[in-house]
């Protein structure tokens, strides 16, 4: 374990003295140990010894491990957003395939690191609003311990497979896309929350300002494009400089004379969309604007392999406050004093990972984020991402006898109308109907008729948006059987499901259709044989 770091005179700083006065008393509490230990399951953890971290990888085996580390000097505890089969098997320099083999999932962790507490609250509310708009009903919210917030969507909420690829293997690419999408959408909500004197308040504050890209709302970087010429031999060269950097002096490679600047152009470039104001002038705002999330501190760097964040109810070295979990409706009234470790009662301790989270609750959020990312790629002129995995070459089947009688029990149960899980059921129906080649008009009629049976029905606008989204994509298989359909109380396997080990509704429809077709042919053959027998006799 690392020794406590002292100042140059060998004495503890004021901040270190302040937190060390309470660590033993605070972390000795069984309820605090339980909250930290329960959240640590399947996570890599690391204690912090005021200014330095402990060994990695590490994990808690027992609740008592927490206080044992505190007795050795630990002041706070940090953990990974990735979930592992066995965190102790993690090694530095693991290959992607080795990481994927060990990783069993990940939580989406949104980190708001803002210097101004009141605006930090607004940023958190804006982000929560976007999450609610995208179907997230259950999320975790905790105070960071300083002035920011952590928002968590648990692994349980995410679809476990996307385009045939296990979602656990899509870290950190998928969560980064989701956070970029949330960041873009949240800024719109945040602008509506700002007070009228916002610009006046931050007039003298040193925050990032500049020309904004209208496609993605990122602040564009400013560059200088210069043409150099040699007056001695006439050679020309073209160079690009960051406007903040000092332009270097260059010598002509032909004759050694110093280059002179013949002309220069200042322009802006968006690294997110890969466009610039030289060729896409209409895509850049002409007025100076604040980058709100530079001000609000939305940190996407946290979404990276083995990155750690402060665990719920861990203390913060700079403030000696606890990283407490609160309900989202309490964010307006929350004050820094509410995070005082001496004021946290057992009754107020909450789970950071919401136990009420539903399976695939974040499906709509994932779809919207991927769709938004693809639109950006198209705007950049990039080709669409290729589907990999077992469905890479998947093509929808074409069945002539699309009778409801050939649907699996789970789909039949859904078509009777349901009360819970309607959005997930809609996703399954759309992808099943498209995968078995159902006519577009018939599919829409089936879905709208089904929706009338739901209690209460989905809004028609939502169904239209989901159909519109689906039509822009290649058909994909509906979710596999059992867990997905058990989550909406629709799974009721029959003999065909159980005896043939069918894993997907499409497979069921195909098998049922083929078996009926064979039965029809067999009966027709038997009939012809009887007629022939009668003629011969």
pTM (2 d.p.): 0.62
Q: How far apart are CA 229 and CA 262, in angstroms?
A: 6
CATH superfamily of 14-193+296-348: DNA primase, PRIM domain (3.90.920.10)
User: Which tokens go with 55?
Assistant: 């060994």
Task: For residue 196, name the pLDDT band (cuts at 50, 70, 90).
Answer: confident
Element (H, E) at 263: strand 260-270
Return the number of other C-beta atoms located less than 10 Å from residue 361's C-beta: 26
How far, in Å, CA of 137 to CA of 328, rounded? 11
User: What region does 323 belong to: left with phi over 0, alpha with psi -120 to 50, or beta?
Assistant: beta
- pLDDT (tens digit, 9 = 90+) per residue, 104-159? 999 999 998 888 899 889 999 999 999 999 999 999 999 999 989 999 999 999 99
| DSSP state, residue 49 | E
| DSSP type of residue 145 | S
Residue 70 contacts residue 27 (beta carbons within 8 Å): yes
In contact, 219 and 291? CB cutoff 8 Å: yes
Sign for the pseudo-dihedral over CA of 422, 427, 432, 434: positive
Cα–Cα distance measured from residue 429 to residue 420, given in angstroms and rounded to the nearest whole number: 15
pLDDT: is 349 or 304 the higher one? 349
Residues 6+ apart with CB under 8 A from 4: 12, 16, 49, 50, 73
Contact 373, 162 (CB under 8 A): no
Please report, in angstroms and rounded to a whole number, the separation of the first and last CA atoms in the chain.
Answer: 98
Give the residue extent of every domain in the chain: 14-193+296-348, 221-283, 397-514
Predicted local confidence at residue 229, as pLDDT:
86
Task: Mark residue 146 as left, alpha or beta (left: phi above 0; alpha: psi -120 to 50; beta: remaining).
Answer: alpha
Structure confidence by residue, pLDDT tens digits, 403-457: 778 888 999 999 999 988 888 889 889 989 988 888 888 889 999 999 999 988 9
Q: What separation in angstroms does the CA of 85 have from each of 173, 358, 407?
A: 20, 22, 37
Place of tokens 């964040």: 309
Instruction: Tell me whether the omega of the peptide bond preceding residue 456 falls within 30 degrees of 0, making it cis.
Output: yes
> Residue 218 half-sphere exposure, CB side, CA atoms within 13 Å?
17
């Amino acid at each position: 374990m690392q020794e406590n770091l002292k100042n140059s005179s060998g004495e503890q700083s004021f901040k270190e003295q302040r937190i060390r006065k309470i660590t033993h008393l605070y972390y000795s509490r069984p309820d605090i140990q339980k909250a930290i230990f329960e959240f640590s399951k399947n996570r890599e953890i690391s204690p912090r010894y005021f200014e330095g971290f402990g060994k990695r990888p590490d994990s808690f085996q027992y609740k008592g491990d927490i206080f044992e580390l505190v007795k050795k000097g630990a002041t706070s505890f940090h953990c990974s957003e990735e979930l592992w089969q066995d965190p102790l098997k993690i090694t530095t320099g693991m290959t992607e395939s080795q990481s994927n083999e060990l990783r069993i999932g990940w939580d989406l962790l949104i980190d708001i690191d803002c210097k101004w507490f009141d605006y930090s609250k607004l940023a958190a509310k804006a982000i929560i609003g976007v999450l609610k708009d995208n179907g997230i009903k259950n999320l975790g919210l905790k105070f960071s311990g300083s002035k920011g917030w952590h928002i968590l969507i648990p692994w349980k909420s995410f679809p476990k497979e996307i385009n045939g690829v296990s979602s656990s293997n899509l870290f950190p690419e998928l969560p980064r896309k989701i956070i970029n999408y949330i960041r873009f959408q949240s800024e719109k909500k945040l602008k509506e929350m700002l007070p009228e004197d916002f610009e006046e308040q931050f007039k003298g504050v040193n925050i990032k300002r500049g020309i904004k890209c209208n496609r993605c709302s990122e602040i564009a970087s400013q560059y200088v494009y210069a043409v150099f010429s040699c007056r001695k031999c006439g050679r020309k060269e073209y160079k690009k400089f960051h406007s903040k950097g000092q332009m270097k002096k260059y010598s002509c490679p032909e004759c050694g004379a110093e280059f002179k600047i013949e002309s220069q152009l200042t322009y802006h470039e968006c690294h997110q969309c890969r466009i610039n104001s030289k060729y896409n002038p209409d895509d850049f705002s002409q007025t100076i604007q604040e980058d709100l999330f530079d001000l609000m501190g939305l940190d996407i760097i946290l979404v990276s392999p083995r990155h750690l964040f402060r665990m719920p109810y861990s203390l913060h070295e700079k403030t000696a406050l606890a990283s407490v979990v609160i309900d989202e409706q309490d964010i307006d009234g929350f004050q820094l004093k509410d995070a005082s470790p001496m004021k946290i009662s057992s009754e107020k301790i909450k789970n950071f990972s919401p136990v009420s989270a539903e399976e695939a609750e974040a499906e709509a959020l994932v779809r919207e984020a991927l769709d938004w990312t693809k639109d950006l790629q198209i705007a950049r002129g990039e080709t669409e991402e290729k589907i990999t995995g077992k469905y890479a070459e998947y093509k929808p089947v074409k069945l002539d006898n699309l009778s409801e009688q050939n649907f699996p029990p789970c789909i039949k149960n859904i078509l009777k109308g349901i009360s819970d899980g309607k959005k997930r059921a809609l996703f399954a129906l759309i992808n099943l109907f498209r995968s078995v080649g159902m006519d577009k008009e018939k599919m829409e009629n089936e879905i709208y008729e089904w929706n009338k049976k739901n209690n209460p029905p989905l809004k028609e606008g939502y169904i239209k948006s989901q159909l519109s989204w689906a039509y822009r994509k290649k058909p994909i298989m509906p979710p596999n059987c059992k867990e997905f359909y058990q989550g909406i109380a629709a799974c009721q396997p029959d003999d065909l499901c159980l005896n043939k080990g069918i894993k997907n509704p499409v497979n069921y429809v195909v098998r049922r259709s083929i078996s009926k077709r064979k039965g029809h042919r067999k009966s027709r053959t038997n009939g012809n044989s009887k007629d022939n027998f009668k003629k011969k006799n």
